[in-house]
Amino acid sequence: MNANKHFEQDDLALYAMQLLSAEEVAAITHHLEDCAECSRELAAVQGDLAIYAHTVDLHSPPALARERLLKQVAREKKIVPISRPAPAIPEPESPFRSEQPQRGDSGSSYFDEDELPRRSFVRRALPWVGWAVAAGLAVAAGRLYQEREALRTTVASEHGQLVRLTADAAEARQLLDTMNDATAMRVTLQKPKAPPVPQGRITYVADKGSLVFLASNMEPLLPYKIYELWLIPADGRDPIPAGTFHPDAKGNGSVLLPTLPKGVEAKAFGVTVEDEGGATTPTMPIIMAGTSS
C-alpha cells in the first residue's frame, strides 16, 4: 500500500491473477469494499489482462511483479508438521490440472520444505498458462490466415497480367508473321484519275485468314460515314466484310488483323463508304478496288 493508502497497480495485478497469499487477498478484498479508486483500478487491470490474453504473444512478466512473486514464494517456504496424512488440497477447475504424488513415505512426519510453495505456485499459474497459450495460438492462426489471403491475391493479380501479356505477344507475333509471309497476297488499291491518288496496300494470307491493310491519301468523309474494306472470294460467294476505318487528317487509315474465315481465296478487294458502324453487304459504288498483282 502506498502513502495515499491505496494499493499499487502491481498488487492489484497479482490479486487479479490470484497469485497472493490468503492474508493479502483478504486485506485487498476488505480495502476494495470501501475504496472506489482501487476498485476502478482493479477493473482496468482485469480488462487489460483479458485483452492481453487474446491479442499478444507470450512474454516474461514485468521485473517488479516477478520479484514480488518470488518473494511471496520464499515467504511460504516452511516445514509443516503433521501427525496424519495431509488432507487433499483443493485445486481450481482447469484443463491443465494434474495430480502429483505426495513426496515422502507414510511414515514421514514432515513435508519437504520446498513442496508446499511449489504446489501452491503450480495451482495458481497453470490456469493462466492455458489462457496465454490459447491467445498465442489464436494470434498465430490469424496472422497465417492474413498472409495466405495476401499471397492468394498477389498470385491472382500476377496470373491476370501474365495472361494479358501472353495474348499481346501472340497478336504481335501473328501481325509480324502476316507481314513477312512469303505466300501472302499483296495488293495495291488506288482511285484512278484523282490527284493525289488514294491508295491502299493489302497483305493477305488465305490459309490463316490474316490481313493487313494500309491506306493513304483517302478523301475526308461526311459526318457519320466510314470506309469499309471487302474481301471478294474467288469462288463467287458474296463479299466478306474485312473491317472498317476512318482516315486521319492526312488521309491515312488502316485495318489490322480483322476477323476473317481461314482458307478463303480472294479474287479481289474493294472499299466502299458506309454508315458509321459498317454494313454486311457493300453499298455501291465501290470507290477503290484491286486484285492480286
Give every residue of the chain whose pLDDT is below 70, as ranges.
Answer: 1-4, 52-62, 65, 73, 76-133, 192-194, 293
pLDDT at 104: 45
0.85 surpassed by pTM: no
- State which H helix or E strand residue 188 sits in: strand 185-190
**Contact by Cβ (8 Å): 252, 232:** no
pLDDT at 284: 95
Task: Render the burial of 115-146: b for 16+ CB within 10 Å, e for the rest.
Answer: bbbebbbebbebbbeeebeebeeeeeeeeeee
Distance between CA atoms of 58 and 101, rounded to whole angstroms? Answer: 30
pLDDT at 54: 63
What are the structural domain ranges in the chain?
A: 9-139, 185-291
pLDDT at 249: 93
Segment 203-261, tens digit of pLDDT: 999 999 999 999 999 999 999 999 999 999 999 999 999 999 999 999 999 999 999 99
pLDDT at 253: 96
